[in-house]
Amino acid sequence: MNLVKLEIERHRWDGMQCGCDRSAAHVATDLLRLAQGGGEHGFDVVETLDGHAYIPSVLFEPSVPAVSVVLAALADDISPDAREGFLEALLHLVAGEGQSIKAEAEGRDLISECIDAAKSGIWLLYSEMFSGRSVGAAGYAYEVLTLVDEDEDRVRRAQAAAAHFLPEDLRPE
């Protein structure tokens, strides 16, 4: 959990407004707890971040540092359930279609910021696709890559090469 803790400590969570209208300090605590072995919702990272970093399709200020923490978790030694949960949450974070009114008023583009942050972990995502650890995790990694990797040829080739690791509905035809 050293990488997760290191990444969490880089951000001023208490200075961010959470989707629940409180300080986002509790989001950092929740992310660390999830990486360490689960929280209130087990390993349901999506449920834990819902209403705080995002609500379906709408991103809040903690979404951008949450992407970095997710990538740190994927590079760290976490359980298979936590890994799949973090990848599913990453998909929600990069698939945002809107943002909070506060972010809009500040002239921010949280959607682009989340995608840009996720690009820094592109090879972690490709590694996950080919790892064979979990079909679900490989599927989430692939879906994130379709949104963040601008090299469509690389994504397509990886999809074909890792087809046997992906869920059936994500395999090339």
Of 102, 118, 134, the position where a domain reaches its end is 118
Query: What total number of domains does the chain contain?
Result: 2
Whether residue 82 is found in the same domain as residue 112: yes
How many whole angstroms separate alpha carbon 68 and alpha carbon 62? Answer: 10
Q: What Rg value do the Cα atoms of the chain yield, rounded?
A: 15
What is the reported pTM? 0.91
Mean pLDDT of the chain: 93
pLDDT of residue 145: 99
Q: Please, is 148 exposed, middle or buried when counting C-beta atoms within 10 Å of its C-beta (0-12, 13-18, 19+)?
A: buried
- Residue 55: beta bridge partners? 58
| Whether residues 80 and 41 fall in one domain | yes
Distance CA 162, CA 20 (A): 39
pLDDT at position 34 over 90: no
Residues 99 and 82 in one domain: yes
* More confident: 109 or 35: 109
By residue range, what is the domain housing residue 76? 2-118
Residue 6 dihedral angles phi and psi, to the nearest 5°: -60, -45
The reply to whether 70 and 52 lie within a common domain is yes
pLDDT at 39: 54
**Residues 160 and 91 reside in one and the same domain:** no
pLDDT, tens digit, 9 for 90 and up, residues 83-125: 999 999 999 999 999 999 999 999 999 999 999 999 999 999 9
Residues 154 and 78 in one domain: no
Q: How much is the average pLDDT of 45-53? A: 88
Percent of the chain with pLDDT over 70: 96
More confident residue, 44 or 163: 163
Q: Are 94 and 144 in contact (CB under 8 A)?
A: yes
